[in-house]
Amino acid sequence: MSSNDTTSPTLGRRTVLRLLGGAAVSATALGGAADAARAQSGTDLDSWFAQTSNYDGVVDETGRSTVTVTVGSQANGGAFGFGPAAVRVDPGTTVVWEWTGKGGSHNVAAEDGSFESDLVGDSGHTFERTFDSTGVYTYVCTPHETLGMKGAIVVGDAGGATATEAADSTDSAGEGESESTEAAGEGDADLDAWFENTSNFDGVEAQTGLQRVTVEVGSQANGGAFGFGPAAIRVSKGTTVAWTWSGEGGSHNVAAEDGSFESDLVSAGDHTFEHTFEKAGTYTYACTPHKTLGMKGAVVVTDDEGGSNAQVAEPFGDPGTERLGGIALAGTFGAMLASPALFGTFMWLKGEGGESAGETYPKEKSE
């Protein structure tokens, strides 16, 4: 197992990389349009959500006049989900999408063009639409569609929709964000007892099959910015967990209860600490200064092997591009071939900054 504390390079570099990621989305628009056509014509939601990690069937929200869906819930390797991903509502129901403020700027864009929100990054922003006609309405977050940030509204009976109904529906708007969570299994440590005084623990969030998973340090919980978000995750053996500081709540650290890993005590936003979990088991950790407030976390590691999404960062030398995935990378190179300006930007990134050119990430923690 290995651990590293890193601080991100200059903001300008990360911003340009994100812009290149946006170019990848544009370059793969034709493929996304084909998926949308299949989802609308056959209403095959299982196919539509094939790459969406938090889809687990259609949540029954019928009988309500207003239903809330979270924008920027934890899914698809970060805050790149709609929660719940798919809901069934009655005709005449108003769906309210509410932004968490996490994962950057998101929007809500119907694949058939019938509705589209602004691109927003602010927490608490809302977008509403009333669905009067029976049917299946699929939608995406445009910048993060290739990551799997997709949703669906099933209105009424919607006849031929071929989708599995979720076993349990959520009872309130806020619970939508926890659709990808599960109760601690019998083989887990007693996580309910560990998280007894942790306000944002609501089960173990499934993040298996990924090479890299992000947890926020200093998320809103326990009466302030004193939480790990999500509090508990389930990952595959070999997965690297990256804790990223929000810069709120003062100085925090990440300290394993068994002493197997510990970060520096840091307050700066965008600081990152990484640890790769090579053995199955349950690893509990806390922020030492704020443990008594309930700032605790857990990583449950399964025996199955993790994915390979980390490899996408290698051509850029920046771990911030990992979550784009292979499809986005291919789209980026396609866009660069079509645009001399983008190609020039890529070449600038490869040779940027004198001594910083050719840096290897993550940097080793200094002793």
pLDDT in tens, 241-295: 999 999 999 999 999 999 999 999 999 998 999 999 999 999 999 999 999 999 9
pLDDT, one tens digit per residue, over 20-63 is: 444 444 444 444 443 333 334 345 899 999 999 999 899 999 99
Position 121 scores a pLDDT of 92
Q: Taking residues 3-15, report their average pLDDT.
A: 50
In this prediction, residue 335 carries a pLDDT of: 52
Residue 304 pLDDT: 79
Is 122 found in the same domain as 55? yes
Residue with tokens 């094939």: 50
SS3 assignment, position 97: strand
**Residue after which a domain boundary falls, among 305, 328, 352:** 305
Confidence of residue 338 (pLDDT cuts 50, 70, 90): low
Our CA angle for 28, 21, 83, nearest 5°, is 85
211 by Cβ neighbours in 10 Å (0-12 / 13-18 / 19+) ranks as buried
Q: Are residues 135 and 219 in the same domain?
A: no
Looking at 178, 195, 225, the residue that finishes a domain is 178
CB-side neighbour CA atoms (13 Å) of 114? 15
Residue 334 lies in a domain: no
User: For the chain, what is the domain count?
Assistant: 2
In a domain, 362, yes or no: no
pLDDT at residue 342, as a whole number: 56
Does 267 share its domain with 152?
A: no
State the CATH number of the domain containing residue 268.
2.60.40.420
354 assigned to some structural domain: no
Q: Is 322 contained in some domain?
A: no
Residues 6+ apart with CB under 8 A from 214: 77, 78, 241, 242, 243, 244, 323
166 and 187 in a common domain: no
pLDDT tens per residue, range 103-155: 999 999 999 999 999 999 999 999 999 999 999 999 999 999 999 999 999 99
Same domain assignment for residues 149 and 37: yes
Per-residue three-class SS string for 14-72: HHHHHHHHHHHHHHCHHHHHHHHHHHHHHCCHHHHCCCCCCCCCEEECCCCCEEEEEEE
Q: Are 205 and 139 found together in one domain? A: no
At 142, list the tokens.
Answer: 């445009």
Q: What is residue 314's predicted lDDT score, i.e. its pLDDT?
A: 38
312 pLDDT tier (thresholds 50, 70, 90): very low
What pLDDT score does 77 carry? 86
42 and 125 assigned to the same domain: yes
pLDDT band at 174 (very low <50, low <70, confident <90, very high): very low
Residue among 326, 356, 358, 323 at smallest CA distance from 244 = 323
| Residue 149 domain-assigned (yes or no) | yes
Same domain, 195 and 248: yes
Both 148 and 187 in one domain: the answer is no
DSSP tag of 288 = G
Question: Which of 15-19, 132-136, 170-174, 223-227 has the lowest average pLDDT?
Answer: 170-174
Q: Are the beta carbons of 328 and 312 closer than 8 angstroms?
A: yes
Mean pLDDT of the chain: 76
For the entire predicted model, the pTM comes to: 0.41
**Is the C-alpha dihedral spanning 172, 176, 178, 181 positive or negative?**
positive
User: Residue 339 — very low, low, confident or very high, per pLDDT cuts 50/70/90?
Assistant: low
Please tell me the predicted confidence (pLDDT) of residue 306.
57
Residue 17's pLDDT is what?
41
Question: Could you tell me which residues are beta bridge partners of residue 362?
Answer: none
Considering the domain architecture, whether residues 124 and 75 belong to the same structural domain is answered as yes
Domain hosting residue 87, numbered range? 30-178
State percent of the chain over pLDDT 90. Answer: 57
Q: Among 178, 199, 223, where does a domain finish?
A: 178
Q: Is residue 366 part of a domain?
A: no
Residue 81 has pLDDT above 60, yes or no: yes
Do 160 and 207 lie in one domain? The reply is: no
Residues 38 and 143 reside in one and the same domain: yes
